[in-house]
Structure 1
Amino acid sequence: MAEELRRTGLYDLHVAQGARMVPFAGWEMPVQYPMGVMAEHLHTRDKAGLFDVSHMGQVLVHPLDGDLDSAGAALETVIAAAVLGLPEGRQRYGLFTNDRGGILDDLMFANRGDHYLLVVNAACAEQDIAFLQGLSGVEVTPVTDRGLIALQGPKAAEVLARLLPAAAEMRFMDSRSLDWNGVDLWLSRSGYTGEDGFEISVPNDCLATFAQALLDHDEVAPIGLGARDSLRLEAGMPLYGHDMTGDVTPSAAGLGWAISKARRADGARKGGFPGAATVLAELADGVSHTRRGLRPEGRAPIREGVQIFAEAEGGVPIGDVSSGSFGPSVGGPIAMARIPVDLADGATVFAELRGKRMPVTVTALPFITPSYKR
């Protein structure tokens, strides 16, 4: 029997907007709207796009003793990042790792004063919540009565400030609660597109109303999973299950920067997370392969799984593509692959497509210049 797909609180709105719905991580989600993936992508880069990300897992972590530091210390046993010391009202990126140092999931966590709010990937949410519920000294509560939307693009702040004036004061990675017509909204100034923008947690009973209030502005258009993927790829952002997996370490995924200094330097907080010995050794000694950008010649994209070679003929693969598509803002195909670290930006390697090898240029990430509000 096929798995019954879950629906977000915006399902009816998606259908009314003409979305094409597809299965995604156990949910029925919009992949595109009548505007089409390329137009949706460019609209987000030019104005503001509204994304339904309610399939993501939202989780609250409270300390049982009332001391937030005890919850932070507990989280540092499973998150390879600095949780302790994160100021109230700020958010940070982190990684769950396994005993081999591979990445189980990536996440955002925010200090909300007396507790932490975590946002994890949809496909990993059940696993992550079970992982967290194994911690001692904390109460772990999955959020089931709220949806999550993202407003992204150069006009996002201007539009949102019409509804929530205080949102304009927020900086990149700020996390705040703001009132909208008596409704408590949880905001972070962050996103997955490389553009300025916000992620907004909204109670389910007014999720559609708030989303429509944003769509009522001419600058805002609904955006599906297709454009979300090409936007994040241009921004050089990895996707769990593709650019990072349980077999890929932070350094190999190009995410060594997420392991904060406090977790690598000698002291009480050094390591302490699963696979720390492997992760810290690779940070100190380096790795042979890591995630890099690729720009193929011509217009044909190179997709996930395509093998990369050092030479036009012969030899063995030196890596394979983990994400690849057409970059509408870049104006050509782009990809990411784990390839040798000693290849310089601008070097030519070769992607094997249908038995033929095409030249590909190694490129620095990201492919576009991010426009975060610092």
Structure 2
Amino acid sequence: MRSGKRQGIIGLLFATLLLSTLFNPVLTPLFAEESQYFKETGHTVSGKFLDYWRNNGGLPTYGYPITEAQMETDPETGKQFLTQWFERHRLELHPENAGTKYEVLAGLLGKDLRREALVVDPDFLKAEVLFNTAYSKDAQWYFPETGHNLRFRFLDYWQKNGGLERFGYPISEEHREIDPETGQIFVMQWFERARFEYHPENLGTPYDVLLGLLGNQLKSPKSKFEFMWKKGTSYRDIKGARSITTDTNGNVYVADAGNYQIVKFDRDGRLITKWGYKGNGDGQFTNVTKVVASPENLIFTLDPGDFSTTTKPRIQKFSADGKFLGSINAYGGNYSDFTRSSNIAISQDGILYRLDVNHDYTASRIMKISPNGIYLGGMDRTG
């Protein structure tokens, strides 16, 4: 009788423990059938994560684990899931999908890393349906869900290695980009859950397309470099950028010599305004090469002039929204020896400094000028 009671208590405890593991996703991997320790990174993968890792590409697709499994908040949904990070991915356990192939999902690392780019980077903005008529449409797919194309070798890799379920939709066009892990430039394409890189040095092998180390970039970046946005000439935003500066509000100003204008963005890369066009008049530019902002957020630009007497250096002053406030054409000493300006700078008290040079760049003069254009002195340097 006493033995039967003991067995009943043990059975009850086992049943309670079993139920707790079924409804507690944190404990589930502890009772998994199998675990694998990776000495390369010193972490263990267990249970459903290990099954998913092995059955969906393993090391080439996900890389080594770089954390243990732990509860984390998903930035896409704000919900908490049992999560484990790998060099190239983040795996999440979704108990609400238990018994289906979606019980383990790869996190949306592509979107997590490029949320700003989705609204400001031309390569991430929705594209037209662009078919190369020299090739079959079967090798060039357009996804209206995200407004992007996927083609040729990247499409082939996407199709043969899990497609939508593993990588998600494309969120960019293919383009050249710096890999922050190596500092090298590759043709890349971003997806909701991954980044494809084309490695021509591996052409003829299965490794000419590799997945970016997105897990490393998010959890243990090698540098603080963060690519925010770019403005391509095909989008007619910037054509020949020569200088960049910021004001006290974090707005960004670019001297766009190719379009004879100043372009202003907010701190997230959204276009605020642009002003200027080709000419010698007020608010016009012949070759704008420098832009600086004063502590009061006045904007000063430099047209450097040339070595003839027809085009002299000119500094123009604007408000932060591009309103022309005047020209500053202060010259001192024997100006005929220094007929071109190569740079301007501004101090914390608003004093302008202009660097003038002679025709063969063997001598220079630093001009000190008030914000209102009054010559305050200068000094010559030769040799």
TM-score interval for Structure 1 and Structure 2 normalised by the shorter chain: under 0.3
The two structures have a TM-score, normalised by structure 1, of: 0.24
- For the pair shown, the structure with the greater C-alpha radius of gyration is 2
Higher RCO structure (Cα 8 Å, ≥6 apart) = 1
